[in-house]
A and B are shown apart, each in its own frame.
Chain A
Amino acid sequence: MTSCRQMRDAIVATVRRQASDADRLRLEQHLSVCAACRAEKARWLLMEQLGEQAPQRLPSDARARVLCHLTSLPEQEDAVGGKARRFLPLLLASTATVGVAFVLLAVRGRHDSAIGAAGRDDAHRPRQMSVGEERAITVQAQMAGAIDSAGAHIAYPANASFSVQPGGRQVDLYAGEIDVDVAPGGAGRFRVLAPHFTVEVLGTHFLVGLDRVETLHGIVRVVEPSGQELAVVSAGQTWRLHDMRESSDTHARQTRESLPGAALAAHPAPGCPPAGPVVSRNAARTRRVASVAGADSFAAVARPVGSERIPASRAAAEQAIETTYPSADQLLAEARTVLAGGDTQRTRECIAGALDARPTTRQRAMAELLSADTLLVESRYDEALAAYRRTVNRFGEYPEGETAAFALAQLLCERGPPAEARVALDRYLARYPTGRFVEEAGKKLAKTPAP
C-alpha cells in the first residue's frame, strides 16, 4: 500500500503536469481510497489556479493619475527617527482623541450641541474643530463652520448635514453642500458619500452637493454606490447628477442602471494628464462651442476658474454643450432604431460614436450586442456567431450577455450543426436558470435532434 507521504510528490507533479502516466495511475488508485490526499490534491489544484490567474493591471489613465499625484507630492523631510515614527500615529491619534473629548465636553457644557454623536446636534455658530478616529461625528449646521478630519479640511454652510465616519476618511453627506480640501499623501482614498453617488479623491480641493461635484484643484472620481465609475472630474470641471439623469431618462428602462457620461466642462488640471477620454471628449466639445459661439464666449467657458465658483454663463454654456452632442445612451438608442429600419451603415456609425463617448461597461455590452445584431441583419452568419460569442465572453454577467447567449444558441439552431446548437442551449440553461429565454430555450432544446 502506498503511503500518503509518498503520494504528496505525485500530487504536486500531477497538478503541474509533470507526472508520468504510471505515477498518475498510481495516484488515482490511491486517491480513490484516501480522502485526505483528495483534499490535498484539491488544495494544490486551487493554488495552481491562483498562480495561473493573470495579474490585474492598471489601465494607462489610472497610471497617469497615480504618477500625477506622486509628482505633485509636497516636499516633506523624513526627519523623525524609525522608532519614534512608529509611535507617531499613536501619539497623534491620542492627542486628537483628547482634543475631541475636550471639545465635546466644552460643547456640551455650553449647551451648544452642533457636533456630537449621530443624529443629536445642531450648530448655532461658526466653529472650527478636529475630528478624532474612534466614533462617527455628525454635523447638522444652522450656521457655517469647518472641521478638520484626517488630513482633510471640511467647510460647510448653514443647513448642511453630514457625518464623518470613524477614521475620518469617509464623509456621508445628507443635505446641503460641503467644501472639502484633502491634503495629498493621506492614508488611502478620501470618500464623500452622497445619496446617489460617491466622490473619491486622493488629494485635492472640491465641492460636493447632493446633486453636483465641482473640482477646484486636482482630480476626483465620481462613482455609483455599486462602484461603477460615473465621471472623472478635473480641476475647473463641474459634474451634475441632474444632467446625467436627464440624458438617462430619454432612454429605455433597461439602460437606467448604466448611467452615461456626466456633463463636464473641459479644464484639465494644470500639469496633470487628462483623466481618460472624458476630458478629451469634452475638450473637443468646448472647441466646437467656441467655433459656434465666438471667441468671447469660448473665453468665458474655457477660462480656468481656480478657486472661483462657476459663473452662470458657463453653466449655461455647459448645458448648451450637453444638449448639442448626444450621449452614449442616445447614440445606442439611435443605433437600435436605425437597425430596426435595416440601415446597418448608420447603425455602425452610431455604435462607433457611442464607443467614442466614453461608455460605461454596460453600454459597451449594448454596443457589442448591437454589432452582432448588425452582422446578423447583413446575413454574415459566421461573423455574427463570433460576435455573439465575444459578447457572452466579455459581458456574460450583464443582460446583454444573456441575450447574446440565447441569440447564439438560436442562430446555431437555425444555421449550425444540431450538436453545437444543443451545447449552446444547454449552456444557456445552465448559466441562466432563471433567465428571460428559459422557456423558449427549453422548447428549442426539445426540438433539436440529439446527435
Chain B
Amino acid sequence: MAVRRDPEALKAGEAERPAWLAGCCAREPAAIAAMFREHCVTVERMISRLVGSTPDLEDLVQTTFVEAIRTINRYRGEASFATWITSVAVHVAQHHLRAGRLRRHAPLDLVPEERLASSTPDIEVQLDERRLSGRLHALLDRIPARQRVALLLFTIDGRPVEEVAALTGASQTTTRSRVFLARRALRALISADPDLSQMAESLFGRRREGTS
C-alpha cells in the first residue's frame, strides 16, 4: 500500500530513493542488509506498539522484511520507504492479530534492559506498570484487529487520520469509524473492570508525585 502524495511531493520522494533500493530489487545481500539495518528499529517499534509484548516479535519482523523484499518492485517512491515498510509492518501485525496467534506472556528476556535497570526508586511503580500493560493488552485483544490497529496508530502514535488510513489501506471515513468503534468498545471494557481504572488512577497519582 503506497501513500499517495501530490506531484511535488512525488518528485521529492523519487529524489529521495534510497541507494540500496536497486540492489534490494536484485536481491543483493549487501543491499538487503543495508535496508534491514536502516529500518529494523522502525519495524520493531511499530509491531511492538500494535501487538504488544510478544515472543513472536522475531517472526513478525522477519515476515515484514520478507514481504517487503518480495514486493519491493511495487514500491514506486510515492512515499518515503520508511512509510512504505511501516505499512507492510501494519499489515503483518494486523494479520497476526486477526489470526489470534497471540501468546500474551512476556519473557523477561524481551523486556528492554535499560528499562529494568532504570534508576526509578519505586520498584512497585514499574511492576504496576507492567501488570497494567498486560491487562490493557488483554482488553485490546477483545477489540477487532482492524479497529485496534486504527486506534493505536491514531491515539498512541498520534498519527493523523489520513496517515492511519494510508497505512491500513482504508478510506478516511472507515478509519474514523474504526477509531470511534474501538474507543467505544474500550470504554465499555474499562467500565466493566473498575479495578483497572483504580490501578491506572493510582499509578498516575504516584507518577505525578514522583515528578512534582
Number of interface residues of B (CB under 8 A): 66
B101 nearest CB across to chain A (Å)? 8
- Residues on B with C-beta less than 8 A from A228 are 107
A15 in contact (CB, < 8 A): yes
Q: Which residue of B lies closest to A38 (CB)?
A: B197
User: Does B152 reach chain A (CB closer than 8 Å)?
Assistant: yes
CA distance A54 to B41 in the complex (A): 13
B19 to chain A, nearest CB (A): 17
Residue A206 at the chain B interface, CB threshold 8 Å: no
What 1/0 mask marks residues of chain B from 40 to 53 whose CB sits below 8 Å from any chain A CB?
A: 11001100110001
Q: Which of B56, B63, B133, B200 has the most CB of A within 10 A?
A: B200
| Whole-angstrom CA separation of A75 from B24 in the bound complex | 11
Q: Does A76 contact B (CB under 8 A)?
A: yes
Contacts of A53 in B (CB 8 A): 129, 133
Distance in angstroms between the alpha carbons of A397 and B36 in the assembled complex: 34
B residues in contact with A70, CB < 8 Å:
32-33, 36, 62, 65-66, 69
Task: Report the Cα distance A159→B44, complex, angstroms.
Answer: 43
Q: Bound complex: CA of A162 vs CA of B36, how far in Å?
A: 37
Asked if A42 and B62 make an inter-chain contact with CB atoms under 8 angstroms apart, the answer reads no
Q: Decide: B36 and A78 in contact? CB cutoff 8 A.
A: no
Q: Does A361 contact B (CB under 8 A)?
A: yes
- Residues of chain A lying within 8 A (CB to CB) of residue B156: 47, 50-51
Contacting residue for B70 out of A50, A57, A76, A227, CB 8 A = A76
In the assembled complex, the Cα of A58 lies from the Cα of B53 at a distance in Å of 11
B59 at the binding interface (Cβ < 8 Å):
yes
Q: Which residues between 56 and 74 of chain B lie within 8 Å of chain A, taking CB atoms?
A: 56-59, 61-63, 65-66, 69-71, 73-74
Q: Identify whether the interface residues of A are mostly helix, strand, loop, or mixed.
A: helix
| Bound-state Cα–Cα, A393 to B27, Å | 45
CB neighbours (8 Å) of A434 from chain B are: none
Residues of A close to B183: CB separation below 8 A: 43
A62 CA / B43 CA spacing, docked (Å):
14
* Interface pick from B4-12, B80-88, B165-173, B203-211: B203-211
- CB distance B33 to A185 under 8 Å? no
Residues of B within 8 A of A396 (CB): 127
Q: Which residues of the other chain, A, contact B126 by a CB distance below 8 angstroms? A: 393
Separation of A71 and B37 alpha carbons in the complex (Å): 12
Is the CB–CB distance between B136 and A49 below 8 Å?
yes
A39 within 8 A of B: yes
CA A187 to CA B67, docked complex, whole Å: 10
Query: Which residues in A have their C-beta under 8 angstroms from that of B204?
Result: 15, 45
A residues within 8 A CB of B124? 427
A229 partner residues in chain B, CB cutoff 8 A: 109
Say yes or no: B203 contacts A392, CB within 8 Å. Answer: no
B190 at the interface (CB under 8 A from A): yes
| Nearest chain B CB to A444 CB, angstrom units | 19
Does B203 contact A78, Cβ atoms closer than 8 Å?
no
Question: How far apart are the CA atoms of A38 and B197 in the complex, in Å?
Answer: 9
Residues of B within 8 A of A67 (CB): 32-33, 36-37
B29 near A71: Cβ-Cβ < 8 Å: yes
Q: B187 an interface residue at 8 Å Cβ cutoff?
A: yes
* CB-based contact B133/A49 at 8 Å: yes
The interface residues of chain A lying within 8 Å CB-to-CB of B107 are 227-228, 361
User: What would be 15 A-B contacts, judged by CB atoms less than 8 Å apart?
Assistant: A39-B191, A42-B200, A45-B200, A46-B200, A49-B136, A50-B133, A56-B112, A58-B40, A67-B33, A70-B65, A76-B70, A187-B63, A392-B123, A394-B108, A397-B108
Chain A contact residues, CB within 8 Å of chain B: 15, 17, 38-40, 42-43, 45-47, 49-59, 62-63, 65-67, 69-71, 73, 75-76, 78, 82, 185, 187-189, 202, 227-229, 361, 389, 392-397, 427, 431
8 A-B pairs with the lowest CB-CB distances in the bound complex, closest first: A42-B197, A71-B29, A56-B48, A45-B200, A55-B48, A55-B45, A51-B156, A66-B62
Given contacts A46-B186, A47-B156, A56-B48, 16 further A-B contacts (CB under 8 A): A42-B196, A43-B186, A46-B196, A47-B155, A55-B45, A56-B111, A58-B40, A62-B57, A62-B58, A71-B29, A229-B109, A361-B107, A389-B123, A396-B127, A397-B108, A431-B127
